[in-house]
Chains A and B, each alone.
Chain A
Amino acid sequence: DQQVKQNSPSLSVQEGRISILNCDYTNSMFDYFLWYKKYPAEGPTFLISISSIKDKNEDGRFTVFLNKSAKHLSLHIVPSQPGDSAVYFCAASEASGTYKYIFGTGTRLKVLA
Chain B
Amino acid sequence: EAQVTQNPRYLITVTGKKLTVTCSQNMNHEYMSWYRQDPGLGLRQIYYSMNVEVTDKGDVPEGYKVSRKEKRNFPLILESPSPNQTSLYFCASTMTNSPLAEAFFGQGTRLTVV
Contact = CB atoms under 8 A, between A and B. Distances in A.
Contacts of B100: 32, 34, 49-51
B42 A44 contact: no
Contact of B45 (A42, A43, A101): A101
Most chain A beta-carbon neighbours within 10 Å: one of B41, B97, B98, B99: B99
Interface residues of B, number: 29
A78 interface: no
Contacts of A51: 99-100
Contacts of B105: 43-45
A104 B42 contact: yes
Given A103-B43, A105-B40, A106-B42, A43 B99 contact: no
B99 A93 contact: yes
Interface string A1-32: 00010100000000000000000000000011
B94 A103 contact: no
A41 B48 contact: no
Nearest to B110: A41
A103 B44 contact: yes
A93 B101 CA distance: 11
A70 B28 CA distance: 38
